[in-house]
Amino acid sequence: MSQQGTLSKMKAQVYVDPRPKEHFDRFHQRARTREPTWVYEAVRVATTLYQWVVFRARHISTEKVPPSGPVILAPNHFSYMDHFFLAAAIRRKVRFMAKSQLFKPPLQWIYSPGGVFPVRRGARDAEAFITAHTVLARGGCIAMYCEGGRSRSGVLADRAKPGIGRLALESGAMIVPVAIHGSSRVRNWKRLEFPKVTVQYGDPFRFEQTDDPTREQQQATADEIFAAIRELYEGLEAHGRRGVVARVRAERRAARASAV
């Protein structure tokens, strides 16, 4: 079941964007005041067809994403396609943080109308958190990767970054852990390798809202969220798609029987 093996090399990470904060103000302003346009649905339809055909993508337990109210989707992160794998099968429009280096023509003409907003890596980017809180305060759905950037090794990181813990505590929003399995090998397409990708949504939970969480509280919360992601991921790793689907169906049957 493991997705380990030789992976194509990724481009070197660029952690510092030399452009000033003011360069990105217009993107934040748009994300805070406007909903995604038709661009979101156009990209979703196109990438959904692509992932279903090429990567045989399957989504498990999408009903666990609350249909309304502030929600933070918390997935692991291996591939540039993870945004699209994550959002394809749920009805809600998912708002993503993306590294600021991507906000340049032509991508910025897709990202910004599509509801994506920048985060300046290598800087304590308060603007990204203000935008995320603004979206959540309107009852929106935010996606934030626990590991920060993409894993370059093809395995889950040892520990989460504290940022998602900060957002979870300050907002009090519902958290949905998500495991994306198989996407570590998406970048091997040049070798004509097209992995089977499975996305599983976990049980939602939330933390008591805290106005000014300490760094230790942020990290502890992030670690708890990441533990839930790891449990889902390791289940897919151990049992495969079919095994997990069978278990989920059995749990649903048991729940219906106990409700009668």
Neighbouring C-beta atoms of residue 5, cutoff 10 Å: 11
Kindly report the number of other CB atoms within 10 A of residue 150's CB atom: 19
Q: How confident is the model at residue 167 (pLDDT cuts 50, 70, 90)?
A: very high
Q: How are beta strands 198-201 and 174-181 bridged, if at all? A: antiparallel
Q: How many domains, the chain?
A: 1
Query: Per-residue pLDDT for 102 more than 70?
Result: yes
Q: Is residue 12 part of a domain?
A: no
Statement: residue 6 has pLDDT above 80: no
SS3 content of the chain, % helix, strand, coil (to 5): 45, 15, 40
The answer to whether the beta carbons of residues 165 and 220 sit under 8 Å apart is: yes
Element (H, E) at 73: strand 71-75
Question: pLDDT confidence of 11, banded at 50, 70, 90?
Answer: low
Residue 10 within any structural domain of the chain: no
Which range marks the domain in which residue 194 is found? 21-259
Q: For position 110, which CATH number holds?
A: 3.40.1130.10
Q: Whole-angstrom Cα distance, residue 48 to residue 44?
A: 6
Asked whether residue 11 is assigned to any structural domain, the reply reads: no
Domain contains 13? no
User: Does residue 200 lie in a domain region?
Assistant: yes
206 found inside a domain: yes
Q: Is residue 8 part of a domain?
A: no
Query: pLDDT tens-digit profile of 48-101?
Result: 999 999 999 999 999 999 999 999 999 999 888 999 999 999 999 999 999 899
Tell me, yes or no, whether 255 lies in a domain.
yes
